[in-house]
């Protein structure tokens, strides 16, 4: 396999960028932005639409409360996350911090709407209530892949938003927290259990990403992005682990060799090698003309 280096400089990524392939990092950012927009739209329709419809059905006027103010903030937060990510100026570390903060704040917005009037009915039934935060906690690392330790921290904080909402409801609205031991067991077996599941899910996604990254490493080079393809092979932009210069790597398609007889496979390989060597000589000549060592 012949490698052809080209002019340029290579940057040094964060720990996250060394773990996740670049296109997956870009995909995680894109998903985070759309998740923020979806969170805002569903919050606007689900919370305020339901509140206004309920007031209209009961023949009463809509009376905004504290949890409605939290709902407005939650909708604005979702829009802000979308706008920030769409700006495309976040570093990898900043993207992780934004995602973690959004997971916790998003769970708090859901918990306030769910537990503002106290513990909902059904806690002691055969099919007890499953907090909507559970879906948020488990689904978040599936939609936005993050390092497992970061997921564990943000998921545990997100799981604590339900108890926090009950405490705020008790202090602001005077709603008593009945059966505190049952409520504690309820959260331990729902949201906190989901936080552990989210950590396991993040670990699985992390291992898949590591294997994907390893599968794309060729010797001292790491494939970054496909920049061209032809009948025989593909050309990838690559990065050397030690050299501060990127490279272009041309690969033969496996099916080209598999579908050929031994003689034709040998001819294809030789032709491929000559093309790569000719490209390398052209590049070397350009460096000599420009006085590049």
**205 within domain boundaries:** yes
Query: Do residues 178 and 228 share a domain?
Result: no
**CB of 37 within 8 A of CB of 82?**
yes
66 and 154 part of one domain: yes
Q: For residue 124, which phi and psi values (nearest 5 degrees)?
A: -100, 10
User: 29: domain range?
Assistant: 22-215
Residue at a domain's end among 215, 239, 265: 215
What's the predicted TM-score (pTM) here? 0.64
- Average pLDDT of the segment spanning 106-133: 75
Residue 48 has pLDDT above 80, yes or no: no
Number of domains forming the structure of the chain: 2
Domain end residue (candidates: 197, 215, 233): 215
Burial of 293 (0-12, 13-18, 19+ CB in 10 A): exposed
Kindly state whether residues 103 and 175 are assigned to the same domain: yes
What is the per-residue pLDDT for 99?
92
CB 184 within 8 A of CB 160: no
DSSP one-letter code for 231 = S
Residue of 128, 126, 130, 194 lying closest to 160 (CA atoms): 194
pLDDT digits (tens, 9 = 90+) for 74-90: 889 999 999 999 887 87
């Amino acid at each position: 396999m012949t490698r052809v280096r080209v002019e340029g400089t290579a940057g040094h990524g964060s720990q996250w960028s060394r773990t996740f392939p670049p296109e997956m990092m870009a995909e995680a950012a894109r998903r985070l932005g759309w998740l923020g927009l979806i969170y805002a739209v569903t919050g606007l329709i689900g919370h305020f639409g339901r509140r206004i419809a309920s007031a209209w059905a009961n023949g009463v006027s809509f009376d905004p409360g504290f949890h409605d103010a939290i709902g407005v903030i939650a909708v604005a937060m979702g829009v802000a996350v979308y706008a920030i990510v769409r700006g495309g100026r976040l570093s990898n570390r900043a993207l992780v911090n934004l995602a973690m903060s959004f997971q916790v704040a998003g769970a708090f917005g859901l918990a306030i709407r769910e537990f503002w009037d106290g513990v909902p009915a059904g806690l002691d039934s055969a099919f007890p209530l499953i907090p909507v935060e559970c879906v948020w906690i488990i689904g978040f690392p599936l939609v936005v892949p993050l390092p497992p330790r970061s997921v564990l921290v943000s998921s545990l904080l997100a799981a604590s938003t339900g108890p926090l909402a009950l405490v705020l409801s008790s202090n602001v609205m005077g709603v008593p927290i009945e059966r505190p031991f049952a409520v504690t067991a309820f959260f331990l077996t729902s949201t906190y259990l989901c936080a552990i599941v989210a950590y396991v899910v993040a670990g699985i996604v992390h291992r898949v990403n590591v294997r994907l990254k390893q599968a794309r490493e060729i010797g001292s080079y790491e494939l970054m992005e496909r920049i061209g393809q032809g009948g025989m092979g593909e050309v990838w932009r690559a990065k050397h682990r030690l050299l501060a210069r990127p490279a272009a790597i041309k690969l033969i398609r496996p099916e080209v060799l598999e579908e050929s007889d031994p003689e034709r496979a040998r001819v294809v390989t030789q032709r491929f090698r000559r093309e790569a060597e000719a490209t390398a000589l052209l590049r070397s000549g350009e460096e000599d003309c420009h006085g590049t060592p």
